[in-house]
Amino acid sequence: MTAPEEVDQVDLTAPLADVVRARVVSLAADALGRLETDHLPASLRRVASFAPARRARLAAPQIAAVLDLDQDFRRHVATQVRTQLPELCQALDQARPTRTADPVDVAALAYLLRPEGWVAVVATASEAAESQRRAATGREGSERVERLRRQLESATEELKSTRRRHRDQLAALKAENVDLRHRLGDARARVRAAEEAAERAAAGLQEVTSSAAAQAGEQEAELRRLRARTEVLERDLRGLRRAERAERDTETMRARLLLDTLLETTQGLRRELALPAVEGSPADAVEAHVAEQGSDGSSGQGSLSSEDPVFLDQLLGLPRVHLVVDGYNVTKTAWPELSLERQRDRLLGGLAPLVARSGAEVTVVFDAADSVDRPLVNRPRGVRVLFSPPGVIADDVIRELVAAEPRGRPVVVVSSDQEVARDVARDGARVAASPALSRLLSRV
């Protein structure tokens, strides 16, 4: 049983040492979380949910004040502390010696438990704690002095070592200076020898320069002779080119004469044999084939062909010519600012008068490889409009149209795609660039 509590109250802000007061607050903050809500003072209920260390840090003044004023709260805290430090609490209750215990813990527990003579116990333990602190401070001071003394001795030895090292370095530098002086004398001798060699080389260079100047004069004379010879050869070449052009014009005239003869002969045979007009076109078969399944492959891109509209106009003058147009290749080059629908309408509208004037068979192929829907178009009379099947690009449809035509029939493909141009030219078709058609349509 504990002795009756003494009536004296101890103010934690004055009599208790700082370490004892901090230990009292720490024990109370740790016990605060285990108390029932009814046993908690109103001023400490808000911090009861905090961690013990945070309670001690944030609410130390409030805990100290409540412990000093609220005896019930102090007794509840003391009850919790007994469960944490039972042996030391029992020793205080029985007034047994506590020499081996920490005097800070003894003073803090005596203040909380209030056994008989607790004021004296608190004072004695506080003095012991202060004595321990002073002793520890003295030991720290002695250790610091000893550490500084050792550092001083070490610095002195290092200074002596540095002085010895500097003396050695100075001696080495003096020796190195003597060696450098000898080397400098050798270097000066070599410089004088090099200067003499340079003078001899300059004399040799002057001789070589004179010889080179003489050779340059000879080469300049040879160059003038070669230029005169080149001018003579160029005049001969121009004469040969004029003769070649005259011969080529003669051959062209003979070929045209032969062609006119063949055309007139063909027309005469048609009248004599009463041959009926040919119905249909190989492109019709390709159109049906594309509508059913399309081609199986795909190809790439290309570069420009001839862009002269006069060239295309001459090709359209060939008999029974078939004009195959790479639709979007033409429209995206000529009118890139328009929508695809307006591009198609403008191209087809421009082809109508061209077909009426030239009488050519015209097939326009639009790329629809990425779409399953086919837009409605206003197809002019005499113009065949094809959309490539899904998964098949327009280039492959154009190749199929050209391959379906018989060898010898004039086929003109309008596209700036270099690969398409190369493939259809290999099959016998003539190729015109897309700008040629757009410029020709602007004239019609």
CA distance 318 to 359: 10
Shared domain for 269 and 290, answered yes or no, is no
pLDDT higher for 299 or 270? 270
pTM: 0.37
Shared domain for 426 and 331, answered yes or no, is yes
pLDDT higher for 276 or 138? 138
Alpha carbon 66 to its chain's center: 65
CA distance 101 to 90: 13
Ranking 171-180, 201-210, 261-270, 274-283 by mean pLDDT, the lowest is 274-283
149 in a structural domain: no
380 in a structural domain: yes
Shared domain for 216 and 303, answered yes or no, is no
Percent of the chain at pLDDT > 70 equals 84
Shared domain for 227 and 287, answered yes or no, is no
Shared domain for 173 and 288, answered yes or no, is no
Shared domain for 248 and 362, answered yes or no, is no
Dihedral of alpha carbons 390, 417, 325, 421, sign: negative
CATH of the domain at 360: 3.40.50
Residue 367's identity, in one-letter code, is D
Shared domain for 399 and 300, answered yes or no, is yes
Shared domain for 209 and 248, answered yes or no, is yes
pLDDT for res 98: 67
State which H helix or E strand residue 178 sits in: helix 118-273
The residue with tokens 């700008």 is: 435
Of 200, 415, 413, give the one whose Cα is nearest residue 329.
415
316 in a structural domain: yes
Ranking 98-107, 231-240, 286-295 by mean pLDDT, the lowest is 286-295
pLDDT for res 301: 35
- Count of domains forming the chain: 3
pLDDT at 400 over 90: yes
Q: Which of 55-59, 122-126, 428-432 is most confident?
A: 428-432
Residue 192 belongs to what domain range?
156-276
Shared domain for 364 and 306, answered yes or no, is yes
431 in a structural domain: yes
| Chain segment 65-123, per-residue pLDDT in tens | 888 888 888 888 888 888 888 888 877 777 776 667 788 878 877 788 888 878 877 88
128 in a structural domain: no
CA distance 138 to 352: 115
Shared domain for 314 and 412, answered yes or no, is yes
135 in a structural domain: no
Distances (CA, A) of 292 to 116, 283, 289, 377, 395: 114, 14, 5, 19, 17
9 in a structural domain: no
Whether the CB-CB separation of 53 and 7 falls below 8 Å is answered with no
Whether the CB-CB separation of 440 and 412 falls below 8 Å is answered with no
pLDDT for res 2: 43
pLDDT higher for 378 or 92? 378
| Chain segment 120-174, per-residue pLDDT in tens | 778 877 777 777 777 777 777 778 888 888 898 888 888 988 899 999 999 999 9
Shared domain for 287 and 422, answered yes or no, is yes
